[in-house]
């Protein structure tokens, strides 16, 4: 199985789109580990730590954008981020248990990552993108032509 990036996942905020593409890369690495069925515990922890730490950094960037733009649905969106943070902490706890079923756990994490990326980007992140683009358009109309530049979408 492979997760392919397509225009369906673009939300029109370059910085976020690049980060989402990197999530696809990391998730595909995890899917390859699942397909191998012979991963080492160390290899698995490396990719999971990379995926989880990148997720936390990405959420912080998005949430800073919400603050900057005074995003009206930020609270709801951050709740979704917090659910994922809890899920990641749970996976890390489970994987470090001596009797952990690694194959089952890796498959669960991979499935959840694929579902999360698809659903979160196409619903939650797209809602923010629409808001940010509308706000950007409104702000641009209020400025003289010489001063018009992207204020929100950075």
Residue 142: per-residue pLDDT: 52
pLDDT (average), residues 26-54: 82
pLDDT (average), residues 118-125: 94
List of residues 6+ apart from 110 with CB closer than 8 A: 1, 27, 30, 31, 33, 34
For the chain, how big is the Rg over CA atoms in Å?
Answer: 18
Rounded Cα–Cα distance for residues 6 and 14 (Å): 14
Q: Which of 44, 119, 32, 133 minimizes the C-alpha distance to 84? A: 119
Domain 13-147, second-level architecture? Up-down Bundle (1.20)
Rounded Cα–Cα distance for residues 45 and 50 (Å): 8
CB 16 within 8 A of CB 121: no
Confidence of residue 43 (pLDDT cuts 50, 70, 90): confident
Give the residue, 35 or 73, on which the prediction is more confident. 73
Residue 133: per-residue pLDDT: 87
For tokens 């990391």, the residue is: 26
Residue 58: per-residue pLDDT: 97
Residue 147: per-residue pLDDT: 47
Rounded Cα–Cα distance for residues 120 and 133 (Å): 18
Q: What is the pLDDT of residues 62-114, one digit of tens each?
A: 999 999 999 999 999 999 999 999 999 999 899 888 888 877 888 898 889 98
Residue 143: per-residue pLDDT: 44
Q: Where are the domains of the chain?
A: 13-147
Average pLDDT, the chain: 86
Rounded Cα–Cα distance for residues 48 and 44 (Å): 6
For the entire predicted model, the pTM comes to 0.84
């Amino acid at each position: 199985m492979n997760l392919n990036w397509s225009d369906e996942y673009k939300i029109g905020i370059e910085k976020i789109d690049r980060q989402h593409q990197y999530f696809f890369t990391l998730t595909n690495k995890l899917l390859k580990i699942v397909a191998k069925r012979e991963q080492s515990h160390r290899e698995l922890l490396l990719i999971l730590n990379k995926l989880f730490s990148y997720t936390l950094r990405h959420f912080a960037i998005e949430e800073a954008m919400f603050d900057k733009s005074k995003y009206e649905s930020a609270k709801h969106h951050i709740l979704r981020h917090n659910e994922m943070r809890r899920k990641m902490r749970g996976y890390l706890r489970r994987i470090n248990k001596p009797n952990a079923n690694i194959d089952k756990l890796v498959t669960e994490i991979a499935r959840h990552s694929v579902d999360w990326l698809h659903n979160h980007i196409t619903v939650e992140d797209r809602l923010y993108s629409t808001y940010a683009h509308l706000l950007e358009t409104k702000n641009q109309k209020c400025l003289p032509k010489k001063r018009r530049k992207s204020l929100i979408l950075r």
